Amino acid sequence: MRRVFALAAAATLAVSSAASAETWTKYVDTPNGTSWSIDSDYTYRDRQSGRLIVMQAISKPSANLGPAGPGKPDGVGNVVGLDCANKNMIMLGGYKPSAPLEIKSSWRLDSPKKAVGADNEALLAAACPTAAKAPNR
């Protein structure tokens, strides 16, 4: 019986560790010295909306910022829902060291915004080619 509990505890630990993994890929450098990256471990396709959901984080070495996920002392970023075909996006929520990530429950009702600007165009270019491989949730 102890072995069953030990195996269950180990499996739970492995799943929670994998769920909090972060694999950041930089997709754009901005003129002010910041960079934006996406976390491929958090990227998935939303079953209800069909949007590609992506976590992105900012990094700026001079300010001791990430890229890092929510709850990290250097984590500043947000989660967006991308419509790759129509090149628009919806903001689901954001995070910073003083505020945890909170995803709005009503984000699917929000009106999408056109993904304009070099940084948003770079986000679409980096994330959309992976959409076919993204898991559905």
Q: How many domains does the chain have?
A: 1
Q: Record the tokens describing residue 12, joined without a space.
A: 């739970």
Q: Record the tokens describing residue 120, joined without a space.
A: 């948003």
Report the 10 Å Cβ neighbour count for 7: 10
Which one, of 37, 16, 35, 9, lies nearest residue 25 by Cα? 37
What's the CATH code of the domain at 84? 2.40.128
Is pLDDT above 80 for 7? no
Residue 127 lies in a domain: yes
Q: What's the pLDDT score for residue 120?
A: 97
Q: For 80-118, give one letter per residue: b (16+ CB within 10 A) or e.
A: bbbbbeeebbbebbbbeeeeebeeeeebeeeebeebeee
Output 57 or 5, whichever has higher pLDDT: 57
At 31-68, the pLDDT tens digits run 999 999 999 999 999 999 999 999 999 999 999 999 99
Domain that holds residue 85: 22-133
19: confidence class by pLDDT, cuts 50, 70, 90: very low
Residue 94 lies in a domain: yes
21: confidence class by pLDDT, cuts 50, 70, 90: confident
At 118-136, the pLDDT tens digits run 999 999 999 999 999 999 9
Residue 39 lies in a domain: yes
At 67-116, the pLDDT tens digits run 999 999 999 999 999 999 999 999 999 999 999 999 999 999 999 999 99
Report the 10 Å Cβ neighbour count for 47: 9
